[in-house]
Amino acid sequence: MRVLRNIFRRKLRAFLTIFGITIGVFALVVMGAMAEKLDLLVQGGVKYYSDKVQVNAATSVLGLASEPLTMDRLREIKAVPGARAAFPAIGMLYDEELPTMSMGNVATIQGEAHGARRYESFKIGIAEGRDLVASDRGVVVLGNDLAKKQQAKVGTVLEIRDRDFEVVGIWERTLTSPDNAAAVALADAQEMYKETLPDALQAGVTARNLATSFVVYPEAGTDPDNLAKAIRRRVGGIEAVGPKEFEEQVVSQLSVFTSIIFGIGAISLLVGGLSVVNTMTMSVAERTREIGIRKAIGASDGHIMRQFIAESAVIGLLGGIGGLALGYLVATGLNAAGEASGNVLFLVTPGLAVGSVAFALILGVVSGLYPAWYAARLNPVQALRYE
């Protein structure tokens, strides 16, 4: 408590310095929470793709808005040794245009062939209603966030891409992409997809022959990455991605993003750290005579050094706790506000919370090192003469 009394000798200055750290930690917590949330989404994706091969047209971008694949390709893929089963799927944007603000939470329409689910290891529970069955047409099962965003319940009729769909079920929350998906029968999705194609293309194709991707399940004992390679070798005009390749692509993109996010947070903290150095240096200068007195009454260099480092560490710690509290409040508040629209962007993990406060504490200690060392080395006689 003596440490606190010393820090708050200059109340405004102490407050401003602590506030500087608070802003830095706040930035780190909020941006870090965004990165953590994104990481969770990607982890879900990595898990989802862990046991299968995803086949897209060679020109596809993120599995969306690609050139159509056709069913003859599917027959070729099924013939590749090691492929146990292959299914067509349609993936397209829920809205006709890409929303301007997107954080990996873009709503999609998923049309999948009935029967594919049997091979799937990524199970999604039903929160409400029922799942799709083979005979379904004109019905939709919604991901949890999308249902909230559309304010839809079982029985609601939604207009999706100018068609009416009755909501028959809502999935449980997965914390990854299915939360923002609308699952419809493949045939419905194929028709909707056909309408998005340029007129010239539309004339030459039948809806039932279209897919944006194929999902290929390997036979037991076949490595999905090897199967992806085999498919690429034997079937032309497509891109086949195994789980490892998927993970490498996505994780490397994510790590760049994460580094940028943490970098920004760390820079703002560093600025806060410099203000701690400034404050402590001024504090040492103002208390030169006091340091002389402390030395005269028996303080060792170590005593003086520890005293100032403790003050600086407490400034860092207080700023860190303040920043964490503020960041947690803002992240939780924005999540609550965004939940209605399905935009849950932040995840404050215990690691992030402990890490950011610890970082602020260490920053405080490091910022205090030079001023404390300077104070400890003051010549007592000169310090006593100082007025």
Partner 1 sequence: MSDVVVSVRDLHKSYLLGRDNYVRALRGASLDVMKGEMAAIMGPSGSGKSTLMHVVGCLDSADAGEVWLDGRRVDGLRGRALTRVRSREIGFVFQGFNLIPTLTALENVALAAEYAGASRAEATKRAQAQLELVGLGDRMRHAPGELSGGQQQRVAIARALVNSPALVLGDEPTGDLDTATSEEVVRTLREVNAETRTTFVLVTHNPEVAQACDRVIRMRDGVVEDHGGSPAGVVSGEAAAGEGGADG
Phi–psi pair at 240, nearest 5 degrees? -110, 130
The one-character DSSP state at 175 is S
**The binder of partner 1 chosen from 213, 295, 317, 375 (CB under 8 A):** 295
Q: What angle do CA 311, 313, 319 make, to 5 degrees?
A: 105
Nearer to partner 1, 71 or 296 (CB): 296
Nearer to partner 1, 1 or 203 (CB): 1
Interface segment toward partner 1; rule CB under 8 A; list 3-11, 34-42, 48-56, 115-123: 3-11
Nearer to partner 1, 314 or 357 (CB): 314
Which pair of tokens denotes residue 344?
């849950």
Tell which positions 235-274 bind partner 1, by CB under 8 A.
none
Going by their DSSP bridges, the two strands 53-57 and 213-218 should be labelled as: antiparallel
Nearer to partner 1, 101 or 297 (CB): 297
Tell which positions 55-94 bind partner 1, by CB under 8 A.
none
Which pair of tokens denotes residue 74?
């599917």
The answer to whether residue 5 forms part of the interface with partner 1 (CB under 8 A) is yes
Q: Which helix (H) or strand (E) holds 136?
A: none
The answer to whether residue 11 forms part of the interface with partner 1 (CB under 8 A) is no
Q: How many CB atoms lie within 10 A of CB 226?
A: 13
The answer to whether residue 299 forms part of the interface with partner 1 (CB under 8 A) is yes
SS3 content of the chain, % helix, strand, coil (to 5): 55, 15, 25
Measured CA to CA in angstroms, residue 357 lies from 39, 214, 238 at distances of: 21, 46, 49
Nearer to partner 1, 157 or 285 (CB): 285
Tell which positions 273-292 bind partner 1, by CB under 8 A.
290
Nearer to partner 1, 53 or 304 (CB): 304
Interface segment toward partner 1; rule CB under 8 A; list 148-156, 192-200, 346-354, 378-386: 378-386
Q: How far is CA 381 from the centre of its chain?
A: 58
Binding site for partner 1 (CB under 8 A): 2, 5-6, 9, 290, 293-301, 303, 380-381, 384
